[in-house]
A and B are shown apart, each in its own frame.
Chain A
Amino acid sequence: MSSVDLRVEIAGLELANPVMTASGTFASGREFADFVDLSRLGAIVTKGVSLVPWEGNPSPRMAETASGMLNSIGLQNPGVEAFRERDLAWLAGSVPGLPVIVNVSGHDLAGYVGVIEALEDEPGVSGYELNISCPNVDAGGMAFGTDCAAAAEVTAACRAVTARPLIVKLSPNVTDIVSVARSVEAAGADAVSLINTLLGMAIDTSSFRPKLARVVGGLSGPAIKPVAVRMVWQVASAVEIPVIGMGGIMTADDAIEFMLAGATAVAVGTANFVDPTSTVRIVDGLAEFCHAHGVGCVSDLVGAVDVS
C-alpha cells in the first residue's frame, strides 16, 4: 500500500496523513504512548491550554448517553508555563518531528493572545487551534464562538501576534455555523475545525438530579456524527480555507465520510477513550480504503461527495 499518498496540507503545514487528535481527548500524547506510535499521527492537537492553571469543574464531569457521552471537564489544565515545561518538552524529546497544534483557551481576549505570545518562541509548536467553542466554561469559550463579531475579534487579535498556522475551532451550538466560519476566515484564520461538542443534558430519573454537576455539558461520540458531517459539508462549501472535520469518528469509514463532505483533515476524539489505538487504526484504514478503491492520493477524497 506504499502507493497511496496520505499526505495533506493545512495552512502550509504538511501532515503525513489526515488523522489528528481532537483536543481534550488525547492529553498531550504521553498517556497514549504505551498504545500508539505517536509518530504515525498526522498531527497532535493538545488539550486546551490557558494562560494560568484552571482547576476545572466539579464532579461528576461525565455521563454516558446513547452512542455518546456528555462531559463538563471545564478545560482543566496546568497553565501555559507548566505545559511548556512538561508537555512540549516531552513531545520534543519523544516524538521529534510530529506536528504539534496547541489548543488555546481563554476567558477573555488577553487570555488567548497571552498563551500564543508565551509559545511563539517555542520551536516545538507547529500551529494553534483557538478554542472558541467549549460549552463548559462560564467566561470565554463558547461565548466567542457563537457570535460572529466576537469570533472575528478573537481571531484577528491572535492573528496579529503569530504568523504560524491559526485554526479556529467552531461551535455547533449556533443557528448558522457558515456565517461564523466566514467571519473567522475574513479575520485571518488559516483553517477551521469543527465541530466541538453539542450542548446537552441528562437527568438521573431516580434522584431527579442532573447527571453532570454543572447540569449541562458537551455531547460527543457517534451520536453527533451526522450533525458534524452536515456542518462540515456546509462550511466547506462556503469558505476557501481548509476544514478539519470531527465529531464521532470511530472508524476509517467515518473519517472518509468527513473527507467526502469537504474536510481536508480529520480529528479523532471520543474514540480515543474507547480504544486508545483508534488513531493509528484509522490511519491504516484510510490507506486500505484508498488502495481498495484505486484512490492514489487521499486528498482526492476531499469534497468528493456527489450531491447531484
Chain B
Amino acid sequence: MTTGHDCACAHRAVPPALENVTVVANERLAEGVGLLVLDAPRAASSVAPGQFVHLRVARGADFLLRRPFSVHRAHGERIEILYQVLGTGTRALADKAPGDRMDLLGPLGTGWSIPEGIAHALLVAGGLGAAPLGMLAEELAGRGVAVTVAAGAPCEERLIGRELFERVARRFVPATDDGSCGARGLVTGVCEPLLAEGSFDMVYTCGPEVMQRIVAVQSASADVPCQVSLERLMACGIGACLSCVVRTTRGVRRACVDGPVFPAEEVLWDPAESPDTH
C-alpha cells in the first residue's frame, strides 16, 4: 500500500500562485448555470487544460474555505469558469458583477494528458462536466487532433459549451433527457456506438462520477485508453489537507495535485457511485 504523498506528483510547468483577479463578465447561460469571465493574467498564461483554480468567492462565516473551479477556457489575460448554483459558494459567485475582485489560487492540479501521436479523441461531457473539456477541445484541435464531442444534458438549453464544441470539434453528438436536441437519453447511450466505430485513440470524460465510470467501462471494452476528471470536496487545493483523496491502484491519491485527472484504469471506484445503485 502507498499512502499520501507520491514523489511522482504533479509535473507543473508553472507553480501555482495567489492572484488578485477581477470579474469581467458574469453571464447566465441557463437556469442555475453561469459563465464567469475573470481578468487573471497569471493564471490565464499558465493554466493547462484540465487544471483548476481555487477561489475565495466571498468573506464571512459561510465562506471560510476556497471553492475549486475547472478552467473552461483561457484566452489572452482572461479565464472562463462554468458554474452551477448548488450551494452558498456558487450562489455568491452568481451575484458577482463586473469589477468585483476575488482572490485566486492557481493554477492547480494535474490536467489532461495529451500523448504524442493521438489522432482522434472522444470527449464525453455530462452536464457541467463540459467545464474542463472546453480548453482541452481547443488545445487538441490546435494540435491537429481530430475531436469528437459527445455531450449530455437534461434539455437543449442546458447543453453547456455547445458553441465552443461545435466550433472546434469535427463532430458534436448531443444527447438530451427530453430529446429536445440530439438523441433522447443519456450521453453514455451515444458514447457506446461512437466507440464501436473504432476510430478513437483516447477518451477524455468529465461529468457525474457514475457517468464517468460507465464511460471508463465502455472505453476499456473498446480498448481505448480513458482519462477521467474527478470532483472531490477539498480544503487546501495544494495537497496538504488530504480531504480530496481518490482510491487508486497506486494507493490513496490526492485529487488536487495528483488529479483531478486520473487514468481511468487506476481508479478504484467508490461503491456508492456504482451504476447499479443509480
Interface on A for B, CB 8 Å cutoff? 24-28, 30-32, 34-35, 47, 53-56, 59-64, 66-69, 71, 73, 76-79, 82, 86-87, 221-222, 270, 272-277
Contacts and interface: CB of A to CB of B under 8 A. Distances in A.
B243 A62 contact: yes
B236 interface: yes
Interface of B: 1-5, 7, 15-18, 56, 61-62, 64-66, 105, 232-236, 238-245, 252, 257, 270
Given A73-B243, A270-B64, A62 B234 contact: yes
30 contacts: A25-B241, A28-B5, A31-B239, A34-B16, A34-B238, A35-B238, A47-B4, A53-B2, A53-B3, A53-B4, A56-B3, A59-B232, A60-B233, A61-B242, A61-B245, A62-B235, A62-B241, A63-B233, A69-B64, A69-B65, A71-B241, A76-B245, A79-B3, A86-B7, A87-B5, A222-B64, A270-B64, A270-B235, A273-B65, A274-B56
The winner among B3, B16, B62, B232 for most chain A CB atoms within 10 A is B3
A47 B233 CA distance: 20
**Shortest 8 CB-CB contacts between residues of A and residues of B:** A62-B243, A273-B235, A273-B236, A34-B15, A27-B240, A31-B239, A31-B240, A66-B61
Contact of A55 (B61, B66, B252): B252
Nearest to B56: A274
B252 A56 contact: yes
A273 B232 CA distance: 15
B2 A32 contact: no
B15 to A, nearest CB: 4
B241 A86 contact: no
Given A27-B5, A32-B238, A56-B3, 14 more contacts: A26-B240, A53-B2, A53-B3, A55-B252, A62-B233, A73-B243, A76-B3, A76-B252, A77-B3, A78-B5, A79-B3, A270-B64, A274-B65, A274-B66
B167 to A, nearest CB: 35
Given A62-B233, A76-B3, A68 B241 contact: no
A274 B64 contact: yes
Give the interface SS of chain A, mostly helix, strand, loop or mixed: loop
Given A55-B252, A276-B238, A67 B64 contact: yes
A72 to B, nearest CB: 9
A86 B3 CA distance: 13
Nearest to A62: B243
A30 B238 CA distance: 10
A32 B243 contact: no
Contact of A56 (B15, B16, B245): B245
Contacts of A31: 236, 238-240, 257
Contact of A273 (B5, B15, B240): B240
B64 A68 contact: yes
Contacts of B234: 62
B234 to A, nearest CB: 7
Contacts of B233: 59-63
Given A26-B240, A34-B15, A62-B243, A54 B65 contact: no
A55 B246 CA distance: 11
A61 B2 contact: no
A217 B105 CA distance: 27
B99 to A, nearest CB: 23
A226 to B, nearest CB: 14
Contacts of B105: 276
Nearest to B270: A59
Given A69-B65, A71-B243, A221-B64, A53 B1 contact: yes
A86 B7 CA distance: 8
Given A53-B1, A76-B3, A64 B270 contact: no
A56 to B, nearest CB: 6
B2 A78 contact: yes
Contacts of A27: 5, 239-240
Contacts of B270: 59
Contacts of A61: 233, 242-243, 245
A251 B190 CA distance: 53
B65 A277 contact: no
